[in-house]
Amino acid sequence: YMTAWNDYNIDRRGDVGSWSRMAAMTGLESSLEGKYVNETIIWTRDVAMRVWGGFLKQLSEKLDSIRLHAGQCLERILTFLTTKTFSATTTMDLHIPNGFMEALGIGQEEEVNWADAKITFPKVMNVASMVPELFYPIVSGMVVSVGALTESVTVHSEQALLEWIQNKDNGNHPREGEERRKRFGQAVLQLFAEYKRNRRVIVPLLMTLESLYKRGIVLDCDDHDFSMSLLSCLKVEVKNSSDVQKILSIGTIAIMGLLSMTTFSSNASNNKSNGQQEDINDNDKENTENSIHHHQKRILSFVLGLLGHEYPRVRRHVANDLYVSLLEGSCSNLVTSLNDEEHAQNVLLETQWDMEDNATMILQSRNALATLLQVDEMDDIESVPIKTRKSAATKKDFSYATLVQNAMN
């Protein structure tokens, strides 16, 4: 039954995977109750966490019907287990986490409308705070809901996730908020690894990250290994990809997220050293700054690679985001003078990045930026071909018009 919970297939009949998941939840409910009646079930903590995690993931999903069915099945199972009377010779640990039913509102007088995202999502995120083993399945379902077609589901899933990460309900313990951001950052990397190139999960995950960074929420701000791991994941997703929406999100995350994040870390490190100079070794400070400088260059190498992408819309989008980032001072520690920084801004502003008949000028502008920002090498990401207007028009997916036509088809 739990294997069928991962069925997300879609064919000409529609979302057949959701039918399988609903049938699996019903079957698991009947099986658990039957085996408990006969007292033949092997119910360990590992099995219990897999069952609770599976139901909570479905409760975090984007389909109202799935959430309703999952909530009703889980409610009946928990009610059955807590009211079942076992024989005197049987010792049965139910492995129901403390406060689990209360957090979900099960067993209370008021009936829960599980199909209502506004009600269900905050309850599920409350459980994520209580039981570490259930955090990842909840996040994996919640992230997909962020990319739902229904605006209500998208808004409420994003709101529940943001409030949990920001720890708004527990403002007296800011350290807990930091731990939550780190846990979410680890879950993000795990999702990238588990669902590599799976658009159903990756695109909503990118949308979630983009939303977080636009709100100034920094994940693992002191962990540069996280930023480099995330950069590696972005490189995997952008390679040979023709999904414009995904590439645009990746560009925004790389600039507004990773590049700004390393700048934030650099400023935080400098502020800390200014306040505690007697406790900080000059060599350690220099090593930290060199590490941040190296990470920024690696991120810029990837971003400049996107500036040479074959899709005009991608180049224009990345140029706009990078220009805003330069205005905010994200690369100020990489340029040797204020004139170089202003020159880089002018190059971004004056170049027509979405032109299709002058690839040479685009690549020249990109190379000029690399020199100004002191980036020695650039990632090769589906570079714009240097061809004439006639030959460029025949290249598949080269023009913006072709991209729009393919998306409509």
Tell me the whole-structure pTM to 2 decimals.
0.81
Q: Using an 8 Å Cβ cutoff, are 227 and 295 in contact?
A: yes
Question: How confident is the model over 350-384, as pLDDT tens digits?
Answer: 999 998 878 889 989 999 999 988 888 777 665 56
CB atoms closer than 10 angstroms to residue 346: 12
Which residue intervals of 239-311 are DSSP H helices? 244-252, 260-275, 282-307
Tell me which residues of the chain have a pLDDT lower than 70: 35-41, 85-92, 148-149, 168-174, 220-224, 260-292, 333, 380-409
242-261: pLDDT as tens digits: 999 999 999 999 988 777 66
Q: Measured between alpha carbons, how far is 336 from 340 in angstroms, rounded to an integer?
A: 7
pLDDT value at residue 397? 44
Question: Taking Cα atoms as reference points, which of 299, 291, 184 lies closest to residue 235?
Answer: 299
Look at residue 14 and give its three-state secondary structure.
strand
- What pLDDT shows up at residue 276? 47
CB 146 within 8 A of CB 157: yes
Contact by Cβ (8 Å): 309, 384: yes
Q: What does the alpha-carbon distance between residue 380 and residue 306 come to, in Å, rounded to a whole number?
A: 8
Distance from C-alpha of 123 to C-alpha of 117, rounded to nearest angstrom: 10
CA distance 271 to 63: 46
Residue 196 has a pLDDT of 93
pLDDT for position 281: 56
- Please check whether residue 208 is in contact with residue 149, taking contact to mean a CB–CB distance below 8 angstroms: no
Dihedral sign for Cα atoms in the order 123, 125, 131, 135: positive
Q: How far is CA 223 from the centre of its chain?
A: 17
Contacts of 107 (CB under 8 A, 6+ apart): 78, 79, 82, 101
Tokens in use for 299? Answer: 């991120």
